[in-house]
Structure 1
């Protein structure tokens, strides 16, 4: 394989690093410590921190409870990481396998005539990765700024602690460090998982697009052979065999993409469903907190810092899910546009099978209930607005 053929696998290098730092993927070194590290992060931050937050909420005075409740979505986001992380933490070898599948020959069939399709997908992945990374980094940055420049009379992400932290600078500092580290881990763990799954769907869509290009532009792969044939119809047996082999390769890639999406859904759909389940609520509460702000202040910026990456991650999932659906549904159109009438009967029969298979779209569903598509994203936005209206009237 050439470096070009490994372009997809190489594009995950930064994603894997972020996952390793957040205990979601074992590195090459210290593999024996991975399990302890992964479970320590899950228990210490994804479980303990939100539990302490909700204990503080229930112990607060009734007058303060509604104010604290408006920020409780942060604890929800931390806690659902348990469901999103579970498959990655419990079966790290399976996660590594899903990455390494992009080294398989079946996903590296591009040649000079069509490598621009994979190049575009890699470039799209890189741009979205950088943008999402920047948006993700805004939230913990603003929390840190809020802690540094505000009065040291309360925790900015309130949690219950069994000791009084306000009479001791050391205890107050350690509590804030724990909150900042836990919150940063949560947002970047979300980032790592969302990039991991949505990028896989993006590349599955690019593989389907590659199939369409090959079927529609079959002559480009055999231009030199066609120059040796005087008749308009392909009458060379060797050429017809090459055409059939190319169509067979396309069918195998289609099956590989279908199997890959099915495997992703089987392993990770539950965690994605938990994210979508609370997504509209989180967006609504962020919008509600922003609507209460009378001027540009840290609280407003803090709400915006959480709203932007949350909305973007829901869009990423739905956009890439729509890409897979649309590319799989239009394979039949690509076949119709191809010079299928010049092929032999064996190739035509295989194309008919592909057309029939493409009538049922390939899709990823969260929890096998919510289909990841732009229609779902629009529905989430509508539900978020409805929930915002209810909160404003409360």
Structure 2
């Protein structure tokens, strides 16, 4: 009697492929060494970004001690209070000075906009903390079972390139902040125009205030770039998984085509069905993590896109209207480039994710011709994979528009349009 469906035969025709697929699954599970998962997790390690985020109270380390969480929360509250006091100081300047001096108004407004967005991002990171912790280990926890030793070299190479890119991006932010901090704009010689409770004209008051500006600026700008690097690294990990999946589908179709040409070789449909099932499960795991990342980033990316669009408009206005030396021009220019870079990294890697997910659909479509002689169950599985892959994975800004290279150009165009209106408004006032 068949143990699967209780029919009289020892192994009926209906259950034989399924039973053989289980045997292949068991053999593959035994051959899958735990060291493959360890190698994948080591290659995709994000500790170079998680540690700075932990030290600066932006996000606790996912493997941090639970006993020290209360102290860490108190530390986070202190850092938030420091940034909030800076934001309130710039708002007071906006309220007291008004629009009498349009240059001072736009400069202070852009600083308040950037600092306010950072406060929002810290609050958003706290709300989505569990999701970010899960995604930080997605390669080892969710994708390791689909990886083989042949995939590890490619995974290591891609992660190495990504690590170099993010470190370069962060160092660019540090250099931009350093240049901005040594370029005074206020009467006291400070890099910002602030409402202060102390006299910054005195040496001690100036030193304390400048240190205060430095800490807040580095925390708001550099840690924004570190958090951006963490987010785009998660996007890049999903893209790499799509690349590996695409390669497996192409390899599966090529092998099937070679077996079809060689009619003397017996085609093992159970093995083929098992490998295709692994591809489908791999694709589903990628979709699940992409949806989690999208839900975690959508609101934040919408707020950041709007903030960067406004800051870009204000800084272009500063560059076009201020004529008090190269130092101030460089200050506004460094601010403008930093803001555009923060948006561009999301659009660049978001566009790569869209393209790679579309390639999966193309690979599945190309595999159809190689699977004409396969059973109907295999064709249906391939059809389901191809149908779902036709809807590309993407990261959106609040669901309004996907983060892509075209979106980046659109945001810059809108910022330029508002800049033109603002400049005409000033010319008419003169």
Task: Please give the range of the TM-score, normalised by the shorter of the 2 chains.
Answer: 0.7 to 0.9
1:262, 1:384 → 2: CA distance? Answer: 29
CA gap 1:114/1:96 in 2 versus in 1, 3 angstroms: closer
User: For the residues of structure 2 that align with 1:307 and 1:107, how far apart are their CA atoms?
Assistant: 41
1:216 partnered with 2:216:
no
Counterpart for residue 123 of structure 1: 160
Match of 2:372 in 1: 341
Gap regions ≥5 residues in structure 2: 1-34
* Counterpart pick for 1:188 among 222, 236, 242: 222
Q: In 2, Cα distance between the equivalents of 1:230 and 1:284?
A: 62
Structural mapping, 1:58-73, within 5 Å: 58-60=95-97, 63-64=100-101, 66-73=103-110
Question: TM-score, normalized by length of structure 2?
Answer: 0.81
Task: Specify the SS of the correspondent of 2:286.
Answer: helix
Cα root mean square deviation, aligned: 2.8
Q: Tell me: CA distance 1:274–1:36, structure 2 relative to 1, closer, same or farther (3 Å).
A: same
User: Which one of the candidate residues 237, 246, 267 is aligned to 1:203?
Assistant: 237
Question: Which of structures 1 and 2 has the bigger CA Rg?
Answer: 2
1:222 and 1:119, CA in 2 relative to 1: closer, same or farther beyond 3 A? farther
Among 379, 382, 387, the alignment partner of 2:410 is 379
Distance in 2 between residues matched to 1:358 and 1:291, nearest whole Å: 46
Q: Distance in 2 between matches of 1:365 and 1:32?
A: 34
Match of 1:84 among 109, 116, 121: 121
The yes-or-no answer on 1:323 pairing with 2:364 is no
**Structure 1: gaps (5+ residues):** none
Q: Is the 8 A contact 2:170 2:226 kept in 1?
A: no
CA distance in 2, matches of 1:89, 1:114: 34
Distance 2:208 2:225 in 1: 25
Q: How is 1:286-301 mapped onto 2 (pairs within 5 angstroms)?
A: 286-294=315-323, 297-301=326-330
Aligned partner of 2:70 in structure 1 is 32
Q: In the alignment, which residue of structure 1 is the partner of 2:146?
A: 109
Superposed CA offset, 1:199-249 (max 9, x none)? 2112111111211110011278899xx89x994386343xx3222222111
2:280 aligned with 1:251, yes or no? Answer: yes
Q: Secondary structure at the match of 1:72?
A: helix
Aligned to 2:304: 275
Tell whether the 8 Å contact from 1:107 to 1:207 is kept in structure 2 after alignment.
no
Alpha-carbon separation, structure 1, partners of 2:261 and 2:312:
64
Q: For 1:234 and 1:192, how far apart are their aligned partners in 2?
A: 54
Where 1:369 maps in the other structure, the secondary structure is: coil
Give, in angstroms, the shift of residue 62 of structure 1.
5.3
CA distance in 1 between partners of 2:81 and 2:285 (Å): 37
C-alpha distance 311-151 of structure 1, shift in aligned 2 (>3 A): closer
1:228-278 deviations in Å (ceiling 9; x for gaps): x994386343xx322222211111121111111211222332111110012
Q: Deviations over 1:270-305 (max 9, x none)?
A: 111110012222122222222335486221222222
Whole-angstrom distance in 1 between the partners of 2:417 and 2:48: 38
Give the TM-score normalised by structure 1.
Answer: 0.88
The one of 258, 265, 276 equivalent to 2:294 is 265
1:356 is matched with which residue? Answer: 387
Q: Which moved more, 1:241-250 or 1:205-214?
A: 241-250
1:368 maps to: 399
* 8 Å Cα contact 2:181-2:191 kept in structure 1: no
1:12-43 CA distances to partner (integer Å, 9 max, x unpaired)? 12111221122122243643321111122122
CA contact (8 A) 2:57 2:72 kept: yes
> Aligned-pair distance for 1:192?
2.1
- CA shift digits 1:57-76 (9 cap, x unpaired): 22237543542423421221
Q: Are residues 230 and 212 of structure 1, via their aligned partners in 2, closer, same or farther at CA, if it must alter by over 3 Å?
A: closer
* 1:25–1:95 Cα contact (<8 Å) kept: no
When structure 1 is superposed on structure 2, of 175-184 and 379-388 the one drifting more is: 379-388
Cα shift at 1:119: 3.5
Which of 151, 155, 164 aligns to 2:199? It is: 164
CA distance in 1, matches of 2:158, 2:417: 36
